[in-house]
Amino acid sequence: MEFVKIDGSFGEGGGQIVRTALTLSCITRKPITLEKIRQKRKKPGLKPQHLTAIKILQKIFNAKVEGDKIGSTSFKFIPGSIRDINIREDVGTAGSISLILQVLIPISSICQKKVELFIKGGTDVLWSPTMDYTRYVLKEVYARMGINVSMELIKRGYYPKGGGEVKLEIFPSQIKSISLVKRNTKKIKLFCSFSKLPEHMIQEKCKKIESELIEKKFDVESIIKKEDTNDSGASILITSIDDNSVIGVDSIYDKKINEFDLDLDKIIENELGIDENLADMLVLPASLTNDMTVFTVSKISRHLETNLYVASKFTKCKYGIGKIQGGFEVRIEGVLDASI
């Protein structure tokens, strides 16, 4: 048996390379050996959310796994045959649900199987997309690429207690390429959710952000919602979406400084096609189309470089990056394998 060998310390050297390698292993049916996992982090090796993703994929694909334990810096994953399945999983505490969904959604839809998933864990935690970013930004792009998914947020879960609940249905899909190159709208939506924090304080923070956007001639619609959760917390998402662009910026409320750590320039100044976080999430599905995906982005992140590297190792897709005014244009020529 020939394994695809992946160096887990490549590029950003974090959990992204684990998620992307797992996803492409399942889609292409190629076994993987992943080594030096999260070697560049203070605490190297697999974390609970990685193990949950592995556990779920093991069930869906009847996979064989070696080295699947917390702190493991290497593991082998051998995918078997996929089947329709209904799964219930608990990441534990506040492990990121959003990062797990980045793995599951493309796999199930591309492999033409229906998966129903009920998952508990963290919905809005540090170092991962908020659940609103996943629901309103990533899901929007997935839909344009033909990926059909239903996502219901039952309960939010903030750090450290977690306890968030999400119900997911993923349907067989025919994936296609897209082009996102130029923002043509001044309309913006602001979504904010909070729990067990003073309402007047959150309203004040949102009003200040809204005023900054209006000052820059944006038309802002705000949706602020108080929700019941196990722990106190808040998250915010700002989106700008039109036919040629999908841009989102999100943040978790920092209770130590009583502020959202939000870089508004990333949406005010961005007149390109997508935001830098979305860029790395598009690589995987784009590599599996039968056409050319094109997008423009302000920055080439280490996550994007990592995903381009891993995708090319599995699919032999071709990609190119060119400098343009205000950022970069990325082209990915997908390699659709009829056997997948």
- For tokens 């999100």, name the residue: 250
Checking if the pLDDT of 104 tops 90, the result is: no
Can 1-82 and 187-268 be said to share one CATH topology?
no
| Sequence-ordered list of residues with C-beta below 8 angstroms from that of 21, at least 6 positions apart, any chain | 4, 6, 32, 34, 310, 314
Pick among 3.40.50.300, 2.60.120.680, 3.40.1190.20, 3.30.360.20: CATH of 187-268: 3.30.360.20
> Is 303 noted as a catalytic residue in this protein?
yes
Name the CA dihedral angle for 103, 106, 109, 111, rounded to a multiple of 10 degrees: -80
Q: What is the CATH number of domain 1-82?
A: 3.30.110
pLDDT higher for 87 or 273?
273
CB 55 within 8 A of CB 36: no
pLDDT score, position 94: 79
Computed over every residue of the chain, the mean pLDDT equals 91
CA distances to 38, 39, 86, 96 from 9, rounded to whole Å, are 6, 6, 34, 21
pLDDT digits (tens, 9 = 90+) for 163-219: 999 999 999 888 999 999 999 999 999 999 999 999 999 999 999 999 999 999 999
Other C-beta atoms closer than 10 Å to the C-beta of 45 total 19
Q: Per-domain residue ranges for the chain?
A: 1-82, 187-268, 274-340
The band of 72, judged by pLDDT with boundaries at 50, 70 and 90, is very high
Per residue in 26-66, pLDDT (tens digit) is: 888 899 999 999 887 888 999 887 888 888 888 888 899 99
Other Cβ atoms within 10 Å of 76 Cβ, number: 17
pLDDT number for residue 338: 40
Q: Report pLDDT digits (tens) over 265-293.
A: 999 999 999 999 999 999 999 998 989 99
Nearest-angstrom CA–CA distance, 56 and 173: 20
* The one catalytic residue among 47, 120, 205, 303: 303
Q: Which of 6-15, 83-92, 195-204: highest mean pLDDT?
A: 195-204
Q: How far apart are CA 217 and CA 277, in angstroms?
A: 25
**Cβ(242)–Cβ(180) below 8 Å:** no
List, for residues 110-151, the tens digit of each pLDDT value: 888 788 999 999 999 988 999 999 999 999 999 999 999 999
